[in-house]
Amino acid sequence: MKFIGNIVHLANSGKLIGRSSQSPPIGVAVYNKKKNKIGKIYNVFGSTRNPYVSIVLKVKNFKYNVNDELYISKSSKDKRRKKLRKKK
């Protein structure tokens, strides 16, 4: 698992907002510290050095705390690149 950032808050739209230390690809699965899948990255916005990520939750009644850690799979970037290459 690769650390991408921390939870900032839950938006009115129902999406979880996190502060990241990098720009992760859109559509990759996001996991919590216990390695449970909680959702997918919907949008990346803000500055390029420390962007915010918007996460669509796949878990009902997700309980979180501000500053909880967020992770993505290390291989998720590679899988996404392979899919993009096949489309071309």
Among 43-47, 62-66, 80-84, the range of highest mean pLDDT: 43-47
- Please report, for residues 21, 22, 28, 33, 51, the alpha-carbon distance to residue 6 in angstroms, rounded to integers and kept in the order given: 9, 12, 16, 10, 11
Which tens digit of pLDDT belongs to each residue from 6-37? Answer: 999 999 888 999 999 889 999 999 999 999 99
Question: What is the sign of the dihedral through the CA atoms of 76, 18, 50 and 21?
Answer: negative
Cα 15 from Cα 18, distance rounded (Å)? 10
State percent of the chain over pLDDT 70.
85
- What is the structure's pLDDT at 81? 56
For the entire predicted model, the pTM comes to: 0.78
| Tokens 């796949």 sit on residue | 58
| Residue-range domains of the chain with CATH | 2-87 (2.40.10.230)
